[in-house]
């Protein structure tokens, strides 16, 4: 890590002697290429990202651990990896699985969606006076998913019967 002297030519006219020369400095995917500008004692460095993009980053964001580490492609790559792993997210609560079906992340979101979709009416006996439960046709423990196709909207009585038949 070197400091520019005031006598090192054109750059020195731009870089005050208190500013560190970060040329060639790497932070994550970014490498400082040249000083872009400086204002209020803060140097802005023109950087090249490993992906090929150019960005201008403030010097202290290039030297801090929590600073800027890419042109934004790091986040985009993380997002892409998540999509590849989880499928296309429709919203925070559900994601697409094969065949365009929607799988809910939580039991709660799934049950709400099932009741919204099928209505609060027992699919076994038709009772609708009580708040229905949502039962997994294919048990969760056996790999059943939180999909509408796997939801059985059922009154508490029928739900009990269902679990007595197949605990």
Residue 36 in contact with residue 53, Cβ under 8 Å? no
Q: Smaller CB distance to Zn ion: residue 15 or 154?
A: 154
Binding flag, residue 51, Zn ion (CB under 5 A): yes
Shortest spacing between CB 137 and Zn ion, in angstroms = 9
Binding flag, residue 62, Zn ion (CB under 5 A): no
Which of these segments, 10-18, 31-39, 63-71, 85-93, binds Zn ion (CB under 5 A)? Answer: 63-71
Residue 120 in contact with residue 150, Cβ under 8 Å? no
Taking the C-alpha atoms of residue 62 and residue 53, their distance in angstroms, rounded to an integer, is: 16
Q: Smaller CB distance to Zn ion: residue 17 or 163?
A: 163
Binding flag, residue 70, Zn ion (CB under 5 A): yes
Binding flag, residue 124, Zn ion (CB under 5 A): yes
Per DSSP, the three-state class of 15 is coil
Q: Smaller CB distance to Zn ion: residue 15 or 150?
A: 150
Residue 80 in contact with residue 72, Cβ under 8 Å? no
């Amino acid at each position: 890590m070197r400091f520019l002297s005031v006598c090192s030519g054109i750059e020195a006219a731009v870089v005050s002697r208190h500013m560190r020369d970060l040329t060639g400095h790497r932070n994550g995917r970014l490498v400082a290429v040249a000083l872009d500008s400086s204002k209020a004692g803060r140097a802005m460095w023109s950087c090249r990202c490993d992906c090929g993009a150019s960005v201008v980053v403030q010097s202290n964001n290039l030297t801090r651990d929590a600073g800027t580490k890419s042109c934004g492609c790091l986040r985009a790559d993380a997002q892409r990896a998540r999509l590849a792993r989880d499928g296309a997210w429709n919203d925070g609560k559900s994601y697409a699985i094969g065949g365009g079906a929607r799988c809910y992340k939580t039991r709660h979101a799934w049950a709400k969606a099932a009741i919204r979709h099928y209505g609060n009416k027992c699919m076994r006996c038709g009772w609708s006076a009580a708040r229905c439960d949502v039962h997994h046709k294919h048990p969760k423990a056996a790999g059943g998913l939180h999909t509408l196709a796997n939801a059985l909207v059922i009154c508490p009585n029928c739900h009990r019967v269902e679990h007595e038949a197949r605990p």
